[in-house]
Structure 1
Amino acid sequence: MPSVTHRTAPTRFAEADGVRYAYRRLGSGGEVPLVLLQHFTGNLDNWDPALVDALAADREVILVDYPGVSSSTGTPARTVATMAHQMIAFTTALGLDRVDVLGFSIGGFVAQDMALIRPRLIRRLVLAGTGPKGAPGMHGWREDIETHARAEAPTGEDLLYIFFAHTETSQAKGVEFLGRFMERTEDRDVPSSLESRDAQYDAVLEWGIPDHSALQRLTGIQCPTLVIQGDDDLMIPTRGSHLMAGLIPDARIRIYPDAAHAFLFQYPAEVAKDVNEFLG
C-alpha cells in the first residue's frame, strides 16, 4: 500500500477562476492520474478509504470537492454542465492535460459531460452508479430516497437506507463501511451545506428531465468506458447502465450482485481490482 493513505493524505488547495478547490492526492504509478468525482453532497471524506487506498496502490488518485461544497470555495452549481466546466478548470489548475476519471452518481453525470466537452482530456472513463441524461426514471428520486438523501443532518441510518440494498448481507456490509469512512480523525473535510445540497438536487432534476434525444449524446463519448453499478440501485435505475453501455461506442459493463447505489463501498476490493485492470 502507498505510504500516504486516504487517512493521512493532506488537504491541498488549487485556485482557478476565483475558486479555491480543496483536493487530496495519493498513490503513484499509472499512465495518468485518476480523478474521482463524488456523489450527491459528498466531500473528500465520504469516499471509502478501502476503495481509495486499493486504487492508489496501482496509480495516482486525486479527490476533489466541487465549488461551494465542503472545503472548496465558490458558488455551488445548479447544472451538471456547469459542474463539468468547473472540474475541467480544476484539472487545468493542476497542470493536467490527460486524466482518467471515475464519476460516482452525480459525479458520473459530470464525467459524461467532461468526456463530451473535452474529449482529449479523458483517456479512460469509469461511470459508477450513474445514468444518462434524459433517460426514463432519472427525473429525481422516489419519495423515500429523497427524504433520506436530503436530510438536513444525515445519519448513518440515512446512508444505509439509500446506499445499500435492503437485505441483511448488504446492510451488514454497509455497517462495515460506516466504520471505515469515519477512521480519519485529523484534518477531516467539513460537512457540505444545505445550499450545496439544494443546488445539486436542482442539477439532478435538470439532468433527468425526460428527453429521449439526449441519449444520443452518449454516442459521442470517444474514450474507452467501464460502466459499473449495483443490481438493485434505489437512487438511479440500474437499467440506465445497460443503456449507457449499449450507446457508448467503446464500453463494457459490470453489475455487482446484492448491491444498491454504493456497491463500490460494499465491494471496495473487487471494484478497485476491476477498475485498475480496466485502466491498466
Structure 2
Amino acid sequence: MSSYSTIETQTLSADNGVDYAYRCVGSGPNALPMVLLQHFRGNLDHWDPALIDALAQGRRVITFDNTGVAATSGRTPNTIAAMARDAIEFIDALGLDRIDLLGFSIGSFVAQEIALYRPDLVDRIVLASAAPRGAAGIHGWRRDVIAGVGGREPSPEGYLHAFFPATPEGLEAGQALLGRIYGERTQGRDEPTGWQTRQAQYDAVTEWGIPNHAMLERLQGITQPVFVANGDGDPMIPARYSYLLAGLLPNAQIKIYPDAAHGFLFQHHKEFAADVDTFLS
C-alpha cells in the first residue's frame, strides 16, 4: 500500500465549477470509502500520515481541500451549510454513492450537516473534537486559542498550545507530529491556506456557536451510528460538548482520550485508528 506521505495530489472538477485537490490512499473491496473533513485552516498536509496510513488498512481513505482552501479553487464560504454543500459536490464528482465520514473540528460540523442534507449517502460517522450547532458556550474561542491558531502567521508553538497538552508526554507527541507532517513529505506539498479561508472559517465557527437550543433538535435527524471522540483537555472544543453531542444523537457511542487536547487523534493515532476500525467494522 502507498503511504500518505508519498501519494500524489490529484485534482477533480465538480459540477459546481470548483477544482478540488485531493489525495486517496488504501483499498478495500469489502469496506466503504471514508472521506475525511479537515480542521480549521488545515490543508492536505495537516493530516497525520501515521493516522491516515493506519486508517487506510483495508479501506480507501480520501482527504481533500474544500472550496477555496489551499490548492482547491474558489473562495471559502463563511457558513458550515455552504461548506457541506461543497463537500457533497466533491463526493458526487468522485462518483461515490455510499461513504463513511470522519470530521475533525470544523470538519465535524460539516460532517453533521452532510448527514442531515444527504442521509442516504452516509453509512457511519466519526466526529472528532466536535460540538453540536447552537450549544451554549462555543460562540467564539478563548483569547489564547485565537492567539495560537488564528493569527496571520500561524506558528508551530501556537499549534502545539491548542492541539496538545502542556505535559511532557503531550509535548513529545506534538513534536513527533510536527516531524511527520513537515518532514515526511518532501515533494508535492499542498499550498498553504490563505487569510480569506481563515476569516471565512472562523465566521462559520462563530455562527455555528450562536446559542440556539432549538438547533439541538436537528440532531434527531442523524440516525446513523456515530462515534464521538475528543481529548479530555481540549481548549478549543471542550469534551463536555462531546458528551452533549453523544447524548443528543439517537445512535452514538463516545470515547474521551486521556492527557490529550484538540489533536488527540494525532497524539493517540494508533489507538484512535484501531477504535475507528472497530467502529466501522
In the superposition, the TM-score normalised over structure 2's length comes to 0.97
CA–CA separation in structure 2 for the residues paired with 1:266 and 1:60: 22
Aligned residues: 278
CA–CA separation in structure 2 for the residues paired with 1:136 and 1:185: 43
Say which SS state the counterpart of residue 229 (structure 2) adopts. Answer: strand
Q: What 5-or-longer segments of structure 1 have no aligned partner?
A: none
Structure 1 residue aligned with 2:137 = 137
CA–CA separation in structure 2 for the residues paired with 1:233 and 1:137: 14
Structure 1 residue aligned with 2:209 = 208
CA–CA separation in structure 1 for the residues paired with 2:202 and 2:242: 21
Structure 2 residue aligned with 1:196 = 197
Say which SS state the counterpart of residue 174 (structure 2) adopts. Answer: helix
CA–CA separation in structure 1 for the residues paired with 2:138 and 2:44: 26
Matched, 1:5 2:3: yes
Structure 2 residue aligned with 1:66 = 66
CA–CA separation in structure 1 for the residues paired with 2:161 and 2:263: 11
CA–CA separation in structure 1 for the residues paired with 2:252 and 2:130: 14
CA–CA separation in structure 2 for the residues paired with 1:167 and 1:251: 30
Say which SS state the counterpart of residue 115 (structure 1) adopts. Answer: helix
Deviation at 1:166, TM superposition (A): 2.0
Say which SS state the counterpart of residue 255 (structure 1) adopts. Answer: strand
CA–CA separation in structure 1 for the residues paired with 2:274 and 2:172: 22
Deviation at 1:57, TM superposition (A): 1.3
Q: Deviations over 1:170-205 (max 9, x none)?
A: 111111111111110100001000010000000001
Structure 1 residue aligned with 2:90 = 90
Matches within 5 A, 1:123-272: 123-182=123-182, 183-272=184-273
Q: What 5-or-longer segments of structure 2 have no aligned partner?
A: none
Q: Deviations over 1:182-235 (max 9, x none)?
A: 110100001000010000000001000011111111111011100000011100
Letter in 1 for 2:161: Y
Matched, 1:99 2:115: no
What is the aligned-residue RMSD (CA, Å)?
A: 0.8
Q: Deviations over 1:85-110 (max 9, x none)?
A: 00011000000011100000000000
CA–CA separation in structure 1 for the residues paired with 2:146 and 2:57: 35
Percentage identity across aligned positions?
A: 53
Moved over 3 A (4+): none
Structure 1 residue aligned with 2:274 = 273
Deviation at 1:159, TM superposition (A): 0.9
Say which SS state the counterpart of residue 83 (structure 2) adopts. Answer: helix
CA contact (8 A) 2:126 2:276 kept: yes
CA–CA separation in structure 2 for the residues paired with 1:213 and 1:117: 18
Structure 2 residue aligned with 1:26 = 25
CA–CA separation in structure 2 for the residues paired with 1:105 and 1:209: 17
CA–CA separation in structure 2 for the residues paired with 1:8 and 1:173: 22
CA contact (8 A) 1:21 1:71 kept: yes
Deviation at 1:154, TM superposition (A): 1.3
Letter in 2 for 1:110: V
Say which SS state the counterpart of residue 264 (structure 1) adopts. Answer: helix
In the superposition, the TM-score normalised over structure 1's length comes to 0.98
CA–CA separation in structure 2 for the residues paired with 1:271 and 1:64: 21
